[in-house]
């Protein structure tokens, strides 16, 4: 697919926003990436936007993971269990997602975002237990949440961070800052799994993905630094995360409902 220079410039700008969001929240990058690909960059195919953004988000998540790991915000055992279970789910979900009409995927995506936003906002004041770990007692919960998140991640072509963060909090009781850092392991794994599956069907624009990633690196550095600062203020990260989800979901519903299908 041919894109003009302006679209590539918008891709770099969009990548910066996605990287900033991933660094700040650990998730949310993909809920921005798909609508940015469709409505800002102007990708005409929803499936191509999903496949390309999945790869770009995975690469940006890995970059942000390095920063969070250096700050000690990653629970590696929990992240590993969640990721392995989620990869299996992502393969299943992405295979099903390629069979569904692209425009319907965007509408379903927006509705799912609203549900998650409500749940995150209701638990905005929860501080969590910094010593929380994955053990025999909760490994089944962590794996279960990971598998379900992976299915949704693959189906909608998203890194899944906005599902992984609340999933890690719910299954382990860890604080949101640790869930943000740990989620980036799974976001990277889920995104690559989904992107490779979509790439097999020709649904990845590699040049745009590279530019998107470049912008995301710069945005991620700023986002991770701000996350560390805001984590000391009770509930602020949860509230901002939920608000972001509501805004993007409302915009996607506004743009998607009533439009003709894109594949």
Is 30 part of a structural domain of the chain? yes
**Structural domain boundaries, residue 241:** 5-256
Average pLDDT over every residue of 168-177: 83
Residue 43 burial (10 A CB sphere; 0-12, 13-18, 19+): buried
Is 173 a domain residue? yes
262: in domain:
no
Q: How far is 161 from 30, CA to CA, in rounded Å?
A: 8
Residue 261 falls within a domain, yes or no? Answer: no
Structure tokens at 144: 């279960």
pLDDT at 85: 92
Residue 223 forms part of a structural domain: yes
pLDDT at 84: 92
Q: Which token pair is 190?
A: 């889920």
pLDDT digits (tens, 9 = 90+) for 95-148: 887 787 766 766 777 787 788 778 767 765 555 666 777 777 888 888 998 898
Asked if residue 38 belongs to a domain, the reply is yes
CA dist., res. 29 & res. 217, Å (int)? 12
Whether 186 and 78 have beta carbons less than 8 Å apart is answered as no
Torsion of CA 103, 253, 25, 218, to 10 degrees: 70
CA–CA separation, 235 vs 237, rounded Å? Answer: 6
- Look at the chain and report how many structural domains it folds into: 1
213 has pLDDT over 70: yes
* 252 closest CA partner among 128, 123, 140, 113: 113
pLDDT above 80 (res 185): yes
- Establish if 263 belongs to a structural domain: no
């Amino acid at each position: 697919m041919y894109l003009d220079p302006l679209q590539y410039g918008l891709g770099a700008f969009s990548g910066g926003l996605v990287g900033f969001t991933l660094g700040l929240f650990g998730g949310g990058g993909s809920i921005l990436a798909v609508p940015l690909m469709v409505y800002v960059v102007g990708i005409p195919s929803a499936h191509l936007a999903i496949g390309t953004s999945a790869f770009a988000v995975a690469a940006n998540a890995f970059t942000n993971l390095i920063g969070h790991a250096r700050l000690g915000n990653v629970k590696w055992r929990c992240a590993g269990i969640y990721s392995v279970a989620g990869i299996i789910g992502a393969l299943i979900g992405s295979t099903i997602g390629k069979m569904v009409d692209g425009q319907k995927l965007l509408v379903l995506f927006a509705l799912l975002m609203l549900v998650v936003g409500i749940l995150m906002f209701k638990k905005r004041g929860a501080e969590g237990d910094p010593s929380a770990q994955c053990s025999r007692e909760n490994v089944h919960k962590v794996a279960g949440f990971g598998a379900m998140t992976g299915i949704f991640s693959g189906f909608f072509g998203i890194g899944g961070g906005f599902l992984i963060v609340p999933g890690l909090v719910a299954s382990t009781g860890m604080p949101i800052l640790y869930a943000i850092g740990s989620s980036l392991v799974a976001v990277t794994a889920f995104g690559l799994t989904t992107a490779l599956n979509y790439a097999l069907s020709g649904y990845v624009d590699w040049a745009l993905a590279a530019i998107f990633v470049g912008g995301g690196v710069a945005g991620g550095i700023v986002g991770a630094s701000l996350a560390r600062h805001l984590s000391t203020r009770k509930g602020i990260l949860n509230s901002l995360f939920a608000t972001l989800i509501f805004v993007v979901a409302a915009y996607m519903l506004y743009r998607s409902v009533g439009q003709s299908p894109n594949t």
